[in-house]
Structure 1
Amino acid sequence: MTQHAHAHAHQHSHGHAHHGHGQDADFDWDALAVHLEREAEVQAPAVTAAARWLGGLLDGVPVRRVLDVGSGPGVIAGLLADGFPDAEVVAVDQSAALLERARTRSAGRVGTHRADLPEDFGTLGGAELVWSGNAIHHLGDQQAALTALGATLRPGGVLAVAERGLPARYLPRDLGLGRPGLQARLDAAHEETFTAMRESAPGSVAVVEDWPALLAAAGLVPAGSRTFLVDRPAPLDPATREFLHVQLARRREQFAGLLDADDRAALDALLDRDAPAGILNRPDAFYLAALTVHTARAAGSGH
Structure 2
Amino acid sequence: MSTHQQHSHSHGHSHSHGHSHGHVPAADFDWDALAAHLELEADLRADAVIEAGRWLLGLYGQGGQGGQGTVRRVLDVGSGPGVIAGLLAEVFPTAEVVAVDQSAALLERARTRTGGRLGTRQADLPAEFDKLGEADLIWSGNAIHHLGDQQAALTSLAGVLRPGGLLAVAERGLPARFLPRDFGLGRAGFQARMDAAHEDGFSTMRAELPDSTAEIEDWPAMLGRAGLTPTGTRTFLVDHPAPLAGPVRGYLRTRLARLHDQLAEQLDAEDRATLEALLDEHAPTGILHRPDAFYLSAMTVHTARRD
Bin of the TM-score, shorter chain as denominator length: over 0.9
Instruction: Tell me, yes or no, if the aligned pair for 2:77 and 2:99 is still in contact at 8 Å.
Output: yes
Deviation at 1:23, TM superposition (A): 7.5
AA aligned to 1:193 is G
Distance 1:105 1:161, change over 3 A: same
SS at match of 2:8: helix
Distance 1:261 1:15, change over 3 A: closer
Deviation at 1:274, TM superposition (A): 1.2
Of residues 156, 167, 171, the one that matches 1:163 is 171
| 2:232 paired residue number | 224
Rounded to whole Å, the distance in 2 between the matches of 1:294 and 1:257 is 35
SS at match of 2:285: coil
Deviation at 1:7, TM superposition (A): 3.6
- The range that moved more, 54-63 or 123-132, is 54-63
Instruction: Tell me, yes or no, if the aligned pair for 1:39 and 1:243 is still in contact at 8 Å.
Output: yes
Instruction: Tell me, yes or no, if the aligned pair for 2:132 and 2:160 is still in contact at 8 Å.
Output: yes
Matched residues, percent identical?
A: 66
| 1:4 paired residue number | 3
SS at match of 1:25: helix
| 2:183 paired residue number | 175
User: 2:162 aligned with 1:154, yes or no?
Assistant: yes
| 1:267 paired residue number | 275
Deviation at 1:296, TM superposition (A): 0.2
Deviation at 1:109, TM superposition (A): 1.7
Rounded to whole Å, the distance in 2 between the matches of 1:36 and 1:187 is 20
AA aligned to 1:8 is H
| 2:119 paired residue number | 111
| 1:27 paired residue number | 29
User: Mind listing any 5+ residue stretches in structure 1 that lack a counterpart?
Assistant: none
AA aligned to 1:211 is W
Deviation at 1:277, TM superposition (A): 1.2
| 2:250 paired residue number | 242
Instruction: Tell me, yes or no, if the aligned pair for 2:18 and 2:255 is still in contact at 8 Å.
Output: no
Distance 1:273 1:16, change over 3 A: closer
| 2:142 paired residue number | 134
Deviations 1:14-34 (A, max 9, x none): 46999x979811111000000
Rounded to whole Å, the distance in 2 between the matches of 1:16 and 1:114 is 23
Instruction: Tell me, yes or no, if the aligned pair for 1:14 and 1:134 is still in contact at 8 Å.
Output: no
| 1:43 paired residue number | 45
Cα RMSD (Å) of the superposition?
A: 2.0
Deviations 1:195-232 (A, max 9, x none): 00111110011111000000000000000000000011
Of residues 262, 267, 291, the one that matches 1:254 is 262
Deviations 1:76-130 (A, max 9, x none): 0000000100000000000000000000001122110000111111110000000
User: Mind listing any 5+ residue stretches in structure 2 that lack a counterpart?
Assistant: none
Deviation at 1:265, TM superposition (A): 0.8
| 2:301 paired residue number | 293
SS at match of 2:193: helix
SS at match of 2:300: strand
- The range that moved more, 272-281 or 213-222, is 272-281
Distance 1:283 1:33, change over 3 A: same
Instruction: Tell me, yes or no, if the aligned pair for 1:5 and 1:21 is still in contact at 8 Å.
Output: no
Rounded to whole Å, the distance in 2 between the matches of 1:17 and 1:89 is 27
Distance 1:240 1:183, change over 3 A: same
| 1:52 paired residue number | 54
